[in-house]
A and B are shown apart, each in its own frame.
Chain A
Amino acid sequence: MPAPLTKLLNTSRKYSMWVYQWGLACCAIEMGAAFASPRYDVMRLGVIPFPSSPRQADFVVISGTVTDKMAPAIVRLYQQMPDPKYVISMGSCANCGGPYWDSYSVTKGVDQLIPVDVYVPGCPPRPEALLEGILLLQEKIQNEDMGARWRGDPIVVS
């Protein structure tokens, strides 16, 4: 694919990202406050936080404590998202288990289930940190070679 076309395509994609919110714990409250409040206003970054299903989403924010019981549902709805799809892991719990790293029921990081593009640290992260995570994801999308991605193997999680 010609480079200018790739650049145009990627610019369009990165400024129209429908985010599908997976709120699991207290980080979900922070995510809601960061996405919905006029003070932080993600829509100025082109993030549209209300798809009606994962099938219309471009990326998902996993915010909160992933438990082993919730894990199959996360994988299933991730599989339903159309490619290209991205994942932001928000907060310590989704990154690595966080304060519950020794629990009998908590998955030690959502990256054990699905591939994660951006990890946002914090417990919970500041809204600015979440917005920076989105900017990093946009940077990744901007520099992506869509042709290579389309030619490559699809991402399959089991």
Chain B
Amino acid sequence: MSSAEGTEAAADAAPPADEEEAAPRDDLREGLLESIRAELGDAVVGSHIRPGDDLWVRVTNESWRTAGTVVRDKLGCTYFDFLSVIDWLPSPFGRDMDSQEDLTVNPVEAKAAVPMTWGYAGGETRLQVFARIYNIELGHGVTLKVDVADDDPTIDTWVPLFAGANWHEREAWEMFGVTFTGHPHLINMYLPGDFEGNPMRKDFPLLARRVKPWPGIVDVEPMPGGGADEEGEGE
């Protein structure tokens, strides 16, 4: 999940382009977006089309289940690809988790706090649930996104729509702490039963790095052929 989330987050990092300015118009996806808007109305709060490639739609929290039903039944997207969560909080430990050690090993200025930014189709909350469902026959998919409240991240379950969402939602629940209302069996899947915390959240500290600094910074090995450091172990 982490890799899927990482690539998605990287792809999403580009600022949302204005839809009108998108040079080649994608009639297929414009049509899909129109039919979603026709069914959901004001529940669609954001969207983005990458012409010839993909469609993002952000809906309100209350219409999450309805949106899934509409896209599955009206648009024929019957294949559930994945469901996951993005944590848009800038890491309090620095972008690469090394900054804590940078501060102690080298006298480096602490990095300024970065404002939170959102990807395609925008966002308002720190945690966003997103899912991709796909029309296998016609070969197009829709990525649905939804904001969940910061203080009480809760969302309707999709298990009645897609049985395959069961494990995805359990993983999102244990890794990010998003509660899926109506999920039949919301227990830990990968983590031990008594695990505390949500390790995929950006503010989850890796305790091992507090105990022992990241060795990449403190043990720098001499490169072969690096001159003065040649004598020693390698000979």
B105 interface residue (CB < 8 Å to A): no
Task: Say what secondary structure dominates the interface of chain A.
Answer: loop
Interface residues on chain A, number (Cβ under 8 Å):
8
> Are A105 and B191 closer than 8 Å at their CB atoms?
yes
Q: Which residues of B contact A68 (CB under 8 A)?
A: 191-192, 195
A45-77: CB near B (< 8 Å → 1, else 0) gives 000000000000000000000001100000000
> Are A104 and B206 closer than 8 Å at their CB atoms?
yes
Q: Which residues of A contact B208 (CB under 8 A)?
A: 101-103, 108
Give the Cβ gap from A134 to chain B, nearest Cβ, in Å.
27
> Are A105 and B190 closer than 8 Å at their CB atoms?
yes
Q: Which residues of B contact A101 (CB under 8 A)?
A: 208, 212
> Are A105 and B206 closer than 8 Å at their CB atoms?
no
Q: Which residues of A contact B212 (CB under 8 A)?
A: 101
Q: Which residues of B contact A69 (CB under 8 A)?
A: 190-192
B182-214: CB near A (< 8 Å → 1, else 0) gives 000000001110010101000010101100101
Distance in angstroms between the alpha carbons of A69 and B192 in the assembled complex: 5
Tell which of B197, B204, B206 has the most Cβ of chain A within 10 Å: B206
Q: Which residues of A contact B214 (CB under 8 A)?
A: 102
> Are B191 and A102 closer than 8 Å at their CB atoms?
no
Q: Which residues of B contact A104 (CB under 8 A)?
A: 197, 199, 204, 206
Distance in angstroms between the alpha carbons of A108 and B204 in the assembled complex: 19
Quick one: closest A residue to B197, CB to CB? A104
From residue 43 to 84 of chain B, which have CB atoms closer than 8 A to chain A? Answer: none
Distance in angstroms between the alpha carbons of A69 and B189 in the assembled complex: 10
Quick one: closest B residue to A108, CB to CB? B208
> Are B209 and A105 closer than 8 Å at their CB atoms?
no
Q: Which residues of B contact A103 (CB under 8 A)?
A: 206, 208
Quick one: closest A residue to B204, CB to CB? A104
Give the Cβ gap from A64 to chain B, nearest Cβ, in Å.
16
Tell which of A68, A69, A103, A104 has the most Cβ of chain B within 10 Å: A104
Q: Which residues of B contact A102 (CB under 8 A)?
A: 206, 208-209, 214
Distance in angstroms between the alpha carbons of A147 and B208 in the assembled complex: 42
Distance in angstroms between the alpha carbons of A69 and B195 in the assembled complex: 10
Give the Cβ gap from B175 to chain A, nearest Cβ, in Å.
10
Give the Cβ gap from A108 to chain B, nearest Cβ, in Å.
7
Distance in angstroms between the alpha carbons of A110 and B69 in the assembled complex: 47
A78-108: CB near B (< 8 Å → 1, else 0) gives 0000000000000000000000011111001
Quick one: closest B residue to A97, CB to CB? B208
B103-130: CB near A (< 8 Å → 1, else 0) gives 0000000000000000000000000000
Q: Which residues of A contact B209 (CB under 8 A)?
A: 102
* 6 sampled A-B residue pairs with Cβ under 8 A: A69-B191, A101-B208, A102-B208, A102-B209, A104-B197, A105-B191
A interface vs B, CB < 8 Å? 68-69, 101-105, 108
